[in-house]
Structure 1
Amino acid sequence: MWRTGIAMAAVAFSVAAVAEQSKTFGDYVVHYNAFNSSSLSPEIAKRYGLIRGANQGVVNIVVLNKGDGGDKAAVAKVEGSVRNLLSQRANLNFKEVRDGEAIYYLAGYRFDDQDTLVFDLQLTPEGANPLQLEFNQLMHVH
């Protein structure tokens, strides 16, 4: 089910080394990761409209509804921004990607080497209250 979609996304993105993180909000589990887009193949970057480069990153969000006895991909409105430790902020423009039963949200951003970035996100699953997610990621130029 959703695990297949996440597995396919991970294979497609060729980012097996990227650690996936998650946070539970009641009936919802949000999986998230941020990584250097240079790990994407040129074909995958083009397919998803992402900029591939040494100082370009991608944030990947998956929202799952674990209610009704199983994990099911949830449609959500995903908004947010990313900022560095100097409080320089950029808005993130998420694109919804559907791969079979999997639904994930992708946004690109620029960073400097060894930037610690803070992602401030608001996710609103259909028919649910907004969920606030904040996480940090240390980024390296490849």
Structure 2
Amino acid sequence: MRQLALFLLACCLALPTLGAEAARQNRQEQFGELTVHYNAITSSILQPGIAKAAGLMRSKNLGVLNVAVEKAGKSYAAAISGTVSGPDGKKERLTFTQVTEQGAVSYVTQFQIPQDATYTFDLSIKAAGDTNRLSFDQELFPGDS
């Protein structure tokens, strides 16, 4: 399970961003004392054991969104909700599952990615008594993995 938590955190922090402004290249957003890390990937790149441990399906047509919240450099619990929309503009509601491993908390969800496109994510992050909104775009390529 530790391997899962490390992989999901690495996805949030390490994968490159195409076409995003400089402030978002690290796939993070600051809300006062909270730092929100986020990233979406095609689920077929997950190792089978990691996908199984997180209850995720591996498929070239399913994406995974991972969100982690920190306060003062430490993992922080939050309530995450939101939607994703693709090139057709149709919104899909995202249902997040909390993954906790050795004090590290992250939230994962899966969504459909039927074609190479830029997907728009609109998230609500409730933590530390506040609700913050985060919207970002990310390109996904379902046939690549």
TM bin (shorter chain):
0.7 to 0.9
- Matches for 1:42-81 after TM superposition, within 5 Å: 42-66=48-72, 71-81=73-83
Per-residue CA distance 1:32-73 (angstroms, 9 max, x = gap):
00001111112211111111111111000010112xxxx111
Q: Distance in 2 between matches of 1:138 and 1:100?
A: 31
Aligned pair 1:28/2:30, yes or no? no
Query: 2:58 aligns to what SS in structure 1?
Result: coil
Aligned pair 1:133/2:134, yes or no? yes
Percent identity between matched residues is: 29
Inter-CA distance 95–11: structure 2 relative to 1 (3 Å threshold):
closer
Inter-CA distance 89–9: structure 2 relative to 1 (3 Å threshold):
same
Mean Cα displacement is larger for which, 6-15 or 36-45? 6-15
Q: Distance in 1 between matches of 2:8 and 2:84?
A: 25
Contiguous gaps of at least 5 residues in structure 2: 17-25
Q: How many residues are treated as equivalent by the alignment?
A: 133
Query: 1:130 aligns to what SS in structure 2?
Result: strand
Inter-CA distance 129–6: structure 2 relative to 1 (3 Å threshold):
farther
Output the TM-score relative to the length of structure 1: 0.83
- Provide the alpha-carbon RMSD of the alignment: 2.6
Q: Which amino acid aligns with 1:72?
A: K
Contiguous gaps of at least 5 residues in structure 1: none
Please tell me whether the aligned partners of residues 60 and 104 of structure 1 are also in contact (alpha carbons under 8 angstroms): yes
In structure 2, the residue matched to 1:105 is 107
Per-residue CA distance 1:2-56 (angstroms, 9 max, x = gap):
xxx8995227988996235101011100000000111111221111111111111
Cα shift at 1:115: 1.7
Query: 2:66 aligns to what SS in structure 1?
Result: strand
In structure 2, the residue matched to 1:39 is 45
In structure 2, the residue matched to 1:120 is 122
2:96 paired residue among 86, 94, 106? 94
Please tell me whether the aligned partners of residues 5 and 99 of structure 2 are also in contact (alpha carbons under 8 angstroms): no
